[in-house]
């Protein structure tokens, strides 16, 4: 996986922080340990259709509790060129990792869980 620039790292931290602030049930801690519970990175996503810009996967234990996850972002997607785009992508995929499903875009609400992603980007609520 290609490393993130400092600017992208800060945007990712902001996205994760928004979930950390939204719920008291979960605390996120940053680590560079490769055995982290959630790993985020740029990948080619060659095994996914070109319209897939982000992808997550989780592992479950025998009690059906998620204990590890990856969030993969397709490298080279122009959507990620803005701070708001990267924040929205991480918020959406992290919401999926936490067990929240994608929502069909609708004019009745604004959510980072809308898929495909919709403007405005970067706002959790």
pLDDT in tens, 78-102: 888 889 899 999 999 999 999 999 9
Residue 99 region by backbone torsions, left for phi larger than 0, else alpha for psi between -120 and 50, else beta: left
- Write down the pLDDT at residue 1: 59
- Write down the pLDDT at residue 60: 94
As a whole-number percent, the residues of the chain with pLDDT over 70 amount to: 93
Question: How far apart (Å, rounded) are the C-alpha atoms in residues 78 and 53?
Answer: 10
Total length of the chain: 125
Domain ranges for the chain: 6-97
CATH class of 6-97: alpha beta
Report helix, strand and coil shares of the chain as percent, to nearest 5.
30, 20, 50
């Amino acid at each position: 996986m290609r490393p993130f620039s400092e600017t992208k790292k800060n945007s990712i931290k902001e996205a994760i922080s928004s979930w950390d602030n939204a719920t008291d049930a979960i605390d996120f801690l940053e680590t560079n340990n490769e055995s982290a519970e959630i790993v985020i990175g740029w990948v080619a996503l060659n095994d996914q259709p070109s319209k897939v810009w982000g992808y997550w996967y989780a592992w479950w234990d025998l009690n059906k509790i998620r204990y590890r996850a990856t969030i993969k972002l397709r490298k080279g997607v122009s959507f990620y060129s803005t701070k708001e785009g990267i924040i929205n992508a991480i918020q959406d995929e992290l919401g999926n990792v936490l067990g929240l499903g994608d929502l069909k875009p609708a004019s009745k609400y604004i959510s980072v869980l809308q898929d495909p992603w919709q403007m405005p980007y970067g706002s959790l609520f």
